[in-house]
Amino acid sequence: MSINYSERIPNNVDLSSDRRLQRALEAWQPNYLQWWRDMGPDGTLDYDVYLRTAISTDANGWANFGYVKMPEYRWGIFLADREADRRIAFGDEKGKPAWQEVPGEHRSTLRRLIVTQGDTEPASVEQQRLLGKTAPSLYDLRNLFQINVEEGRHLWAMVYLLHAYFGRDGREEAEEILQRHSGDPDKPRILGAFNEKTPDWLSFFMFTYFTDRDGKYQLASLAESGFDPLARSCRFMLTEEAHHMFVGETGVGRIIQRTCEVMKERKTDDVRALGCIDLPTMQKYLNFHFSVSLDLFGQEASTNAANYYTAGVKGRYLETRIDDDHQLAAAQYAILGLDGNAVVERTVPALTALNERLRQDYIDDCAKGVLRWNKAIERAGIDFEMRLPHRAFNRRIGGFAGARVSPEGKVVDEATWKANEAKWLPSDEDRAYVTSLMGPAITEAGKYANWIAPPARGINNQGPEFEYVRFN
């Protein structure tokens, strides 16, 4: 389905024939643009950025490249094509036609999920607001901005649903999403990880690897929703999400590559003396971002999750490919929890364990990139292995919240935690060191900061030396 670009708000939802919706979105748009100016990438309004813009929702149509000023980016509303005769795939209403309107009994649940999803998108842009000042290259700067405009578009996707299907309270929620801000003591973002800072590029790459990947799994679950407009919105968002995780995986990979090169050339582990990021520090950042992202899946045993599923509003990852009854009334699932000083397994109804099941899918996926990072370290002949910490480590949500558990999964006492905290999580000193490397942005095409290797290839067949951003 193509996207109509002749309208003020590009879309493939036939906006021009819905005057009421058009008015609502046109009223919201100036506030969105004001938010972008106030809270989006700082000092970048004039930059020409080599960006990808969606021009249709088929496999190739969204990869249209050219220089764009970010405030002029064609944010709009793009849903994946409607599937003929789509049916609800799970829950109590399995087999019935997917809903094209919001069923009254699921209205507040759906609104809540859409608002939570929508809230994360601008939050991440706010978290990344200052990173452009210290970009390690034009290539990286461009990738940051690509992610920022697409998160902006993902907000548009959720706001469209709120405006089109939830009437006045939907419009109010859409306004409030622009009023909450990451880290704001009075009006914070809804989920914990989105109130953390993203102060440096190592954090940015870890965030896009680990936290954007939560986005992938949550969007994939919502893409199964019985509420068809939500499912179709999330399907199209997922096509963009892949690039964000690519930026994270290759970003971390390029820092590892550079560190390993320097370790080998100079025959030393002390790469800090040479302005690079040592592998143990990277492991600590990994521990932090992985554990904070695990919290985003919610409680291990959750009646909310069970209710979402039974109602047909939020499915499992790749629901239709799972071979079971898709109702789970009698099924069981093993989850981990604390029993005194031990991490123990217990069996609970599978319906209540859906958050944990999704978390497990996510962990398995996270492990693949770590394997690739380790292969690169091994190829460089260096004896070091990056590891995902145990799921009980450093948690704030769920059965392990506040518990003192080592990265290996052993419950420890407070004294042991205190004695090891700076080995397991970035210390103030680590953060100060990483920050110290974040020099003024590198603005010369083809140059890369000392602590990161250039990419193997550029964007859209351009080389690593291409002028991805023009500052004007």
Does 121 sit near ligand BYC (CB under 6 A)?
yes
Q: What DSSP string describes 290-327? A: HHHHHGGG--SS-HHHHHHHHHTSS--TTGGGS-S-SS
Residue number with CB closer to ligand BYC (176 or 444): 176
**352 near ligand BYC, rule: CB under 6 A:** no
Identified binder of ligand BYC from the candidate list 191, 206, 247, 311, rule CB under 6 A: 191
Q: How far is the CB of 251 from ligand BYC (least distance, A)?
A: 14
Q: Applying CB under 6 A, does 302 fall inside the site for ligand BYC?
A: yes
Least Å distance, CB 88 to ligand BYC, is 18
Q: Which residue in 135, 294, 397, 405 binds ligand BYC (CB under 6 A)?
A: 397
What are the φ/ψ torsions at residue 452 (nearest 5 degrees)? Answer: -140, 140
Residue 332 β-bridge partners: 349
Task: Provide, rounded to whole angstroms, the least separation between the CB of residue 73 and ligand BYC.
Answer: 17
211 binds ligand BYC (CB under 6 A): yes
**Identity of the residue, 189 or 272, whose beta carbon is nearer to ligand BYC in the bound complex:** 189
Are 50 and 66 in contact, with CB atoms under 8 Å apart?
yes
Q: Which of 110, 296, 328, 370 binds ligand BYC (CB under 6 A)?
A: 296
Q: Are strands 64-69 and 48-53 parallel, antiparallel or unpaired?
A: antiparallel
Instruction: For residue 321, give every residue at least 6 positions away whose Cβ sits within 8 Å of its Cβ, in sequence order, or none.
Output: none
- 236/297 with CB nearer ligand BYC: 297
349 binds ligand BYC (CB under 6 A): no
Shortest spacing between CB 235 and ligand BYC, in angstroms: 14
Task: Using CB under 6 A, pick the residue from 250, 299, 394, 406 that binds ligand BYC.
Answer: 299
Instruction: Decide if residue 292 touches ligand BYC (CB under 6 A).
Output: no
Beta-carbon contacts of 442 under 8 Å, excluding residues fewer than 6 positions away, are 135, 136, 137, 138, 448, 449
Residue (of 358, 118, 333) closest to 214 by Cα position: 358
Residue with tokens 């929702």: 57
State in angstroms the smallest separation of the CB of 87 from ligand BYC. 22
Alpha helices in 40-95 (DSSP H): none
CA dist 459 and 12 (Å) reads 27
Q: How would you classify residue 394: left for phi > 0, otherwise alpha for psi between -120 and 50, otherwise beta?
A: left
* Residue selected from 12, 109, 117, 406 as contacting ligand BYC according to rule CB under 6 A: 117
Q: Residue from 3, 80, 88, 113 that binds ligand BYC (CB under 6 A)?
A: 113
Q: In angstroms, what is the minimal distance from the CB of 302 to ligand BYC?
A: 3
User: What φ, ψ does residue 68 adopt, rounded to 5°?
Assistant: -140, 140
Nearer to ligand BYC, 257 or 291 (CB): 291
| Smallest separation, CB 75 to ligand BYC (Å) | 15
Question: Distance of CA 359 to CAs 62, 291, 329, 398, Å?
Answer: 29, 11, 21, 12
Instruction: Return the range that interacts with ligand BYC (CB under 6 A); candidates 7-15, 30-38, 78-86, 113-121.
Output: 113-121
Strands (E), 257-396: 332-339, 342-349
Binding segment for ligand BYC among 65-73, 111-119, 138-146, 401-409 (CB under 6 A)?
111-119
Structure-token pair, residue 32: 């969105």
Q: Which of 297, 309, 317, 468 binds ligand BYC (CB under 6 A)?
A: 297
Q: Which of 93, 81, 215, 91 is nearest to 158 (CA)?
A: 215
Binding mask 140-179 for ligand BYC (x = CB under 6 A): -----------x----------------------------
Question: Is 215 among the residues that bind ligand BYC (CB under 6 A)?
Answer: yes
Examine residue 198 and tell whether it contacts ligand BYC (CB under 6 A): no
- Of the candidate spans 298-306, 366-374, 444-452, 459-467, the one that interacts with ligand BYC by CB under 6 A turns out to be 298-306
Among 25, 157, 282, 305, binds ligand BYC (CB under 6 A): 305
| 3-state SS class at 270 | coil
- Name the region of 462 (left: φ>0; alpha: ψ -120 to 50; beta: rest): beta
By CB under 6 A, the count of residues binding ligand BYC is 25
d(CA 360, CA 392): 13
3-state SS class at 379 = helix
* 291 near ligand BYC (CB under 6 A): no
Question: Helix, strand or coil for residue 348?
Answer: strand
Residue 124 within binding range of ligand BYC, rule CB under 6 A: yes
Q: Whole-number minimum distance, CB 296 to ligand BYC, in Å?
A: 5
Task: State yes or no: residue 353 binds ligand BYC (CB under 6 A).
Answer: no
Rama region for 340: left / alpha / beta (φ>0; ψ in -120 to 50; rest)? left
Residues that bind ligand BYC (CB under 6 A): 113, 116-117, 120-121, 124, 151, 191-192, 211-212, 214-215, 218, 295-299, 302, 304-305, 314, 355, 397
